[in-house]
Structure 1
């Protein structure tokens, strides 16, 4: 099922962890509606990045899948409001986060997080605006902490 011209429900719910553990990762009706809005946000991001293809590395995660991957208990992934992305044809995840940060309002992005987990880097984008405005653009590096803005860590 196509959610938008470039994003399908299958890619927004794909999970190797769910497959490996035999977990159901079917979104609720509410999460499906949120996934539609998330895919629309991704379309705006894609256009902003010059039409470069976006790879969704993690989209919707049901509660069990989220727990299995070690996600935050309040993760926007569980409501279909977030996607972790990479855009290799545009640049590194750092480059992508830097390109998005100044335009979050215009692109309808609630939050941008540049995430660094060892040698793995990606950009988390969410349609939900965090309660604290200063958390709209942050960097999270495992073992190093959280930082305001997009930072090299």
Structure 2
């Protein structure tokens, strides 16, 4: 099922971990509506970047979210978030730096540059966090910082 011109439901629900653990990661109807909004946000990001966006993690049902070590309040569980990279554009840091000043324009509720356990990606969500200083942050193994910080 195609959600937008460049993003499908299969792409936003794909999970090697779910397949390995035989977890059914099919979203319920209310989550499917939110995934539509997430795909639309991803389309705006793709248009801004001018290159393909790769979704490394999208919707996670609660059992899958637990299996990957996600927090219980994760926007992935509600279909409102995606972890992305854009290798044809640049590094996750470069992507986050481009997107940070455009969060309101692009409908990004929260933007997180993540660099943990040797991996880097950009987390985008349609939900604006309760504490606005958490809207654009960097998370590393050392913790969270406001804004987009250089990853080592």
Same fold by TM-score, threshold 0.5 exceeded? yes
Aligned to 1:46: 46
- SS of 2:3's partner is strand
Aligned to 1:18: 18
Aligned to 1:151: 149
Question: 2:71 & 2:118 partners in 1: Cα distance?
Answer: 20
Q: Which runs of 4+ in 1 moved over 3 A?
A: none
For residues 31-88 of structure 1, give each alpha carbon's deviation from its aligned partner in whole angstroms, at most 9, with x where no partner exists: 10000000000000001112x0000000000000000000011000000000000000
**1:68 and 2:80 are equivalent in the alignment:** no
- SS of 2:76's partner is helix
**1:80 and 2:79 are equivalent in the alignment:** yes
Gaps of 5+ in 2: none
Report the alpha carbon displacement of residue 117 of structure 1 after superposing the two structures with TM: 1.3
Gaps of 5+ in 1: none
RMSD (Å) for aligned C-alpha atoms: 0.6
Question: 1:118 & 1:78 partners in 2: Cα distance?
Answer: 22
Matches within 5 A, 1:1-40: 1-40=1-40
**Aligned residues between the structures:** 151
Aligned to 2:103: 104
**1:132 and 2:131 are equivalent in the alignment:** yes
Report the alpha carbon displacement of residue 118 of structure 1 after superposing the two structures with TM: 2.7
Question: 1:85 & 1:5 partners in 2: Cα distance?
Answer: 17
Aligned to 2:92: 93
- SS of 1:90's partner is coil
TM-score (norm 1): 0.97
